[in-house]
Amino acid sequence: MTSQPMTLLIIISETVLEDILIDEIMDLGAKGYTITDARGRGTHGTRAGRWTQGGNIRIEIVGNAALCERIVQRLQSAYEQDYGLLMYTAPVELQN
């Protein structure tokens, strides 16, 4: 079995941005993504996930470090100021 070092990028943001963020991510060259609904609390207040506008999503992307860097920079400059946005990366081993 060969495992391959990759970067996992997790983005937590507002549900209302889902379609827009996905367009951005795919345009920047990601091959795919996984989205789950999320709830929580942050500097933008409690997001209970009750209403579309009150919900969060969690997007996971696995890619090379350069791709993740591009996505982070693009989202930071375009959305961080006005929307709830949390991004973090972790090194992962891709197994297939």
Q: How far is the CB of 75 from other proteins (least distance, A)?
A: 13
Q: How far is the CB of 59 from other proteins (least distance, A)?
A: 17
Of 18, 11, 81, the closest CA to residue 53 belongs to: 18
Parallel, antiparallel, or unpaired: how do β-strands 40-42 and 4-14 relate? Answer: unpaired
Residues that bind other proteins (CB under 8 A): 14, 16-17, 20, 37, 45-46, 48-55, 82-83
Residue closer to other proteins (CB basis): 45 or 91: 45
Residue closer to other proteins (CB basis): 20 or 92: 20
Q: How far is CA 30 from the centre of its chain?
A: 11
Of 36, 35, 25, 26, the closest CA to residue 72 belongs to: 25
Residue closer to other proteins (CB basis): 12 or 20: 20
Q: How far is the CB of 58 from other proteins (least distance, A)?
A: 15
| DSSP letter assigned to residue 54 | G
